């Protein structure tokens, strides 16, 4: 007897719940989990059709819970914790772009050996300022193994943050020299990242290049502390995390190139899949870009298979992939903000946009305001709990910046393509894109520098909540008075 077609959304959502539950309680008995799975499979075959969906749901939830428990046990395992306090020579791989802080340079990496003994474990690297290795470099270095810091005065707990990324020790690097470059898929990602970073802004320097790298690659390391703060206070900081808009333009560029060359749509969709995969590798494993990449890939696969696209299904699949790889991702602010924002776009944003139809505004402006307001409302609790602040002027700031975003991204990808065949033309387009980047930076400063741009105290939060309630009530009364039938 065959299982009736079960709602994919329900099963995917329950799988996410099971993966998340391991963060609270872990299932450590593999035999028990296998017995439950076997009993559930038997029940699916023997139960009446009406009960099979319920049994399948329990099975999916249980399997997700069991798998996540195994992954968390693996992530918490650390042979290097026994070496804390010791010094020695190590072979290291730099796996992410180094970031210069106030007193040192930090980067994520992998340690391959320590004091002659082979080991493979993610680590946090701390190097002296002045010289930093490139992403993908293999180093031979003298290091001191230290424990991550606990909770600081500002509330940041480095130990917990790193543990959720599978990192349990910090290596303070003294003398180092480069002995090679990593290979494999990681090496491909390194070359793609370095190549894209160099080709999107040829001959551009300073702030304009930093803004371009932040928006296109999600790397804000080159931004000044003041401008980064303005992006945060203005509610534009999300622009520095790669979003679905970036992935859409990558896919659209591949499809447009296929059309110009007279290539079939099938090959165009395959090219879009390749472009999305390359872009995700170049940007790195950020929750927002992985979510957007999976959604874009599913859209292309849906066209190739002749099936309808489903935004909710793509969102759930992306959540399953991220949580299955690292269940701790549930606590990552980027994960929470990215998925909540997309949920707001699907649910709240259309309603807000529809309520603005009576205003004499272009449709694109109403849509943009609806998206900004919807995302701002649903992500506000996360921003407050995770970072202790709320941007008050995010809606007007995003309304001014949003029209420039597709222009900046489009010119950046055109520049990257031209740089291969005509560096002079690429530099010209990059110069134009630099003006767009300067405009976005100007908007961030304009709104972020205002004294009431953000709320960062309990009293300010209460005042902002009161103003919002009064404004929402007045807006609702105005809608009713302008349309007596409601």
CB within 8 A of 343, min separation 6: which ones? 315, 378
Cα separation, 341 vs 315, whole angstroms: 11
Cα distance between residue 236 and residue 396, in whole Å: 10
The pLDDT, as a whole number, for residue 10 is: 85
Q: What is the pLDDT of residues 423-475, one digit of tens each?
A: 999 999 999 999 999 999 999 999 988 888 787 756 555 655 665 566 555 55
Domains annotated on the chain, with CATH: 8-75 (no CATH), 79-182 (2.40.50), 194-481 (no CATH)
Mean pLDDT of 253-274: 82
409 — alpha (psi -120 to 50), left (phi > 0) or beta? alpha
DSSP strand pairing (170-181 vs 390-391): unpaired
Highest mean pLDDT among 103-117, 152-166, 452-466, 472-486: 103-117
HSE value, Cβ hemisphere, 13 Å, CA-based, for 344: 22
**pLDDT averaged over every residue in the chain:** 83
Higher pLDDT, 179 or 477: 179
Mean pLDDT of 33-39: 59
| Whole-structure pTM value | 0.82
Q: Give pLDDT tens digits for 45-66.
A: 555 555 677 777 888 888 899 9
Predicted local confidence at residue 156, as pLDDT:
80
Q: What contacts 24+ positions apart, CB below 8 Å, involve 64-67?
A: 64/14, 64/15, 64/16, 64/17, 64/18, 64/19, 64/21, 64/323, 64/324, 65/18, 65/19, 65/21, 65/22, 65/27, 66/18, 66/27, 66/30, 66/33, 66/37, 67/18, 67/19, 67/324
Stated length of the chain: 486
Torsion of CA 208, 211, 215, 216, to 10 degrees: 50
CA pseudo-torsion sign 251, 252, 257, 263: positive
CA 462 – CA 442 distance, rounded (Å): 30
């Amino acid at each position: 007897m065959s299982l009736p077609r079960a709602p994919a959304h329900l099963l995917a959502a329950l799988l996410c719940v099971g993966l998340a539950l391991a963060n609270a309680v872990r299932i450590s008995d593999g035999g028990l989990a296998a017995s439950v799975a076997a009993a559930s499979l038997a029940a699916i075959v023997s139960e009446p059709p009406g009960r099979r969906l319920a049994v399948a749901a329990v099975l999916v939830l249980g399997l997700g819970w069991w798998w996540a428990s195994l992954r968390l046990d693996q992530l918490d395992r650390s042979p290097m914790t026994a070496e804390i306090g010791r010094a020695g020579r190590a072979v290291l791989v730099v796996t992410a772009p180094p970031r210069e802080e106030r007193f040192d340079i930090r980067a994520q990496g992998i340690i391959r050996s320590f004091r002659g003994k082979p080991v493979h474990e993610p680590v946090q690297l701390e190097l002296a300022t002045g010289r930093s290795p490139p992403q993908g470099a293999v180093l031979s270095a003298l290091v001191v193994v230290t424990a991550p810091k606990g909770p600081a005065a500002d509330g940041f707990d480095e130990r917990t943050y790193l543990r959720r990324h599978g990192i349990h020790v910090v290596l303070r690097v003294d003398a180092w020299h480069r002995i090679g470059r990593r290979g494999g898929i990681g090496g491909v990602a390194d070359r793609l990242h370095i190549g894209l970073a160099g080709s999107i802004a040829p001959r551009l320097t300073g702030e304009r290049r930093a803004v371009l790298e932040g928006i296109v690659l999600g790397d804000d390391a080159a931004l000044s502390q003041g401008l980064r703060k303005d992006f945060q206070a203005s509610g534009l900081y999300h622009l520095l995390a790669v979003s679905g808009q970036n992935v859409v333009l990558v896919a659209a560029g591949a499809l447009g190139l296929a059309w110009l060359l007279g290539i079939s749509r099938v090959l165009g969709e395959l090219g879009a899949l390749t472009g999305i995969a390359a872009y995700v590798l170049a940007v790195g494993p950020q929750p927002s870009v992985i979510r957007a990449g999976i959604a874009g890939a599913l859209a292309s696969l849906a066209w190739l298979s002749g099936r309808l696209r489903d935004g909710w299904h793509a969102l759930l699949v992306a959540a399953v992939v991220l949580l299955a790889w690292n269940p701790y991702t549930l606590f990552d602010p980027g994960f929470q903000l990215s998925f909540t924002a997309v949920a707001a776009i699907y649910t709240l944003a259309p309603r807000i946009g529809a309520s603005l139809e009576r205003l004499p505004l272009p449709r694109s402006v109403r849509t943009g305001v609806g998206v900004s307001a919807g995302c701002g409302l649903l992500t506000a609790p996360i921003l407050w709990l995770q970072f202790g602040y709320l941007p008050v002027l995010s809606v007007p700031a995003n309304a001014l910046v949003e029209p420039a975003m597709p222009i900046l991204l489009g010119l950046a990808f055109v520049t990257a393509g031209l740089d291969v065949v005509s560096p002079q033309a690429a530099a010209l387009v990059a110069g134009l894109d630099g003006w767009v980047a300067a405009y976005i930076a100007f908007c961030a400063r304009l709104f972020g520098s205002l004294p009431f741009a953000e709320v960062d105290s309990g009293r300010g939060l209460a005042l902002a909540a009161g103003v919002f309630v009064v404004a929402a009530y007045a807006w609702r009364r105005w809608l009713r008075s302008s349309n007596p039938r409601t």
